[in-house]
Amino acid sequence: MVFDEEDVANLVHSSGMSKSVVDCPHCNYRWGLVSVSDCTGWIACLIPPEGVDEVYHAFYEARSIGVSVNIVSAILDVLMDRELGK
């Protein structure tokens, strides 16, 4: 997906956690975007817009109990591999 200048500026300057809905200028599809960052890494997830709050809350819960972004990323990699292996 290609983001416009405003979307990229928001992502680059954000820290911690953010959620938004962006419109793809090429396919005109609306995407949910959740990002989370800490000193160990940065994750940006493109998801259907209706899932933004749920994914944001899951990241929030993980971060609130001290799970680092690199651990969240590793967990997501395992879950995605399982899902794609079905």
Torsion of CA 54, 32, 12, 65, to 10 degrees: 10
Q: How many C-beta neighbours within 10 Å does residue 51 have?
A: 13
| pTM given for the model | 0.74
Going by pLDDT thresholds of 50, 70 and 90, the confidence category of residue 4 is: low
pLDDT in tens, 7-52: 666 665 656 898 989 888 888 889 998 989 888 888 888 899 999 9
pLDDT above 90: residue 79: no
What Rg, from alpha-carbon coordinates, does the chain have?
A: 13
Report the pLDDT value the prediction gives residue 51, as an integer from 0 to 100. Answer: 93
Report the pLDDT value the prediction gives residue 11, as an integer from 0 to 100. Answer: 63
